[in-house]
Amino acid sequence: MASNQPLVSGSATPKTQTSNVDRPKKRRVRRVRSAPLAHFAPTDANGDDDALLRSESIFGRFNPTLKKVALSLTVIVYMGLGTICFYTIRNQIKGKKTNAILDALYFCVVTMTTVGYGDLGPNSNLEKLLACAFVFKGMALIGLILAKAADYLVEKQEKLLFRALHMYKKDGEIEVLKEVEHNRVKYKFYTTSILLVVFVVTGTFFLYKVEKLDLVDTFYCVCSTITTLGYGDISFSSKGGRVFAVFWTLTGTICVAKFFLYVAEVNTENRQRALVKWVLSRRTTSLDLEAADLDNDGVVGAAEFVLFKLKEMGKICQQDISVIMEEFEELDLDQSGTLTVSDIALAQSVETRSS
């Protein structure tokens, strides 16, 4: 069986290696597993461990929903507190005002997104200190919380985008998931690009219709807003415009940030794939075999060759292998060079006694 063939067989005895040669190669390769099956649960007599596994699975199933609710509440509470604070000292804010509550909320958004038009600004030391504290916390909030909401929105659109691009192909759900997973960064880039165009067109149309600006000024205002330039010569000055700006500025600035992030990720992924292609296409030399021979026995096994290629591709490094081998040696208490169910049980019992 494959369990008798160690990943790096430096500690294996000659007898063990000889017996492995006689075993069918097809069965050995087929039995290799990189991780336990998702539905696997050990049939241990200890009911507490099994209950713990089930509870973790249930928690993992509901955890994403709880996180989304918590993130949404955090944004609402933070913006609510900011609006109350700026409303309380509204007389210390200078600039063109429309409605007291709306202006306070609008000032929160342009501050935390670092747009800072200048149409509203602090006019006292207290207001300036409050704005300084709010902008740092707001930037952290956008980076840690609202960015996750943007990721969720983008991921929800990935499957729809894939089906739109392959609408004439009869691919099942599994094929869709495989394609999306393999090209996840590319589809996120496509989705974010489409959303960015939608935000630009929507903002331009709104400014043209509501704020009564010409097309050049509307496009200029849109670009300076979503890129957080915020020169201040053109901004949202009406009640309706500021209501729109509260939602549009938040989502638009995050969308631009995600767009440039995915541009960098696509570039990095393309370079990584080019490296992988080069590694797989070049001929293996005797020097490569010498480098791949981890146990220095003059023979390179399948596991050693795979590890060598993965190191060349930059997917793992020698430090990763060393850490994994340390864990292997801790579990291999009988120093046989292999791991069995009894080895795992023995290691767990030793750990339990030591604790």
Check residues 22 and 163 and name the one with the higher pLDDT: 163
pLDDT digits (tens, 9 = 90+) for 227-241: 888 787 888 888 999
Identify the weakest region by mean pLDDT among 64-68, 124-128, 328-332. 64-68
pLDDT exceeds 90 at position 314: no
Distance CA 234, CA 230 (A): 8
Closest CA to 211 of 298, 129, 62, 96: 96
Q: Give the model's confidence band at 171: pLDDT under 50 very low, under 70 low, under 90 confident, else very high.
A: low
DSSP state letter for 144: I
Helices (H), the chain: 14-21, 25-30, 47-88, 100-112, 125-141, 147-165, 173-182, 184-209, 215-226, 239-281, 286-292, 302-313, 318-331, 341-354
Give bridge partners of residue 95 from the DSSP assignment: 120
Q: How many residues does the chain have?
A: 355
Check residues 210 and 52 and name the one with the higher pLDDT: 210
Task: Report the pLDDT averaged over residues 325-337.
Answer: 85
- Percent of the chain at pLDDT > 90 equals 9
The domain ranges of the chain are 64-281, 317-354
Instruction: Determine phi and psi for 95, rounding to 5 degrees.
Output: 125, -175
Check residues 200 and 162 and name the one with the higher pLDDT: 200
pLDDT exceeds 60 at position 8: no
Could you give the 3-state DSSP secondary structure of residue 285? coil
pLDDT score of 16: 41
Residues 6+ apart with CB under 8 A from 319: none
Which structure tokens are listed for 218? 């509307």
Q: Give the model's confidence band at 65: pLDDT under 50 very low, under 70 low, under 90 confident, else very high.
A: low
DSSP state letter for 324: H
pLDDT exceeds 60 at position 250: yes
Distance CA 344, CA 332 (A): 8
Closest CA to 71 of 158, 142, 136, 131: 142
Q: Give the model's confidence band at 220: pLDDT under 50 very low, under 70 low, under 90 confident, else very high.
A: very high
pLDDT exceeds 90 at position 244: yes
pLDDT score of 42: 44
Element spanning 93, H or E = strand 93-95
Which structure tokens are listed for 54? 């089930």
Check residues 303 and 37 and name the one with the higher pLDDT: 303
Closest CA to 332 of 1, 43, 9: 9
Is residue 61 within 8 A of residue 90, CB to CB? The reply is no
Max Cα-Cα span within the chain = 87
Task: Report the pLDDT averaged over residues 151-166.
Answer: 57
Q: How far is CA 31 from CA 15, 28, 341, in A?
A: 21, 5, 15
Which structure tokens are listed for 231? 């020169």
Q: Say which residue the tokens 């370079």 belong to.
A: 271
- Which CATH number describes the domain made up of 64-281? 1.10.287.70
Task: Report the pLDDT averaged over residues 333-346.
Answer: 85
Identify the weakest region by mean pLDDT among 3-17, 153-167, 209-223, 225-239. 3-17
Residue type for position 328: F
Q: How far is CA 302 from CA 14, 49, 260, 289, 317, in A?
A: 17, 35, 40, 11, 18
- Percent of the chain at pLDDT > 70 equals 68
pLDDT digits (tens, 9 = 90+) for 88-126: 988 888 888 889 999 989 988 888 888 888 888 888 888
pLDDT score of 20: 43
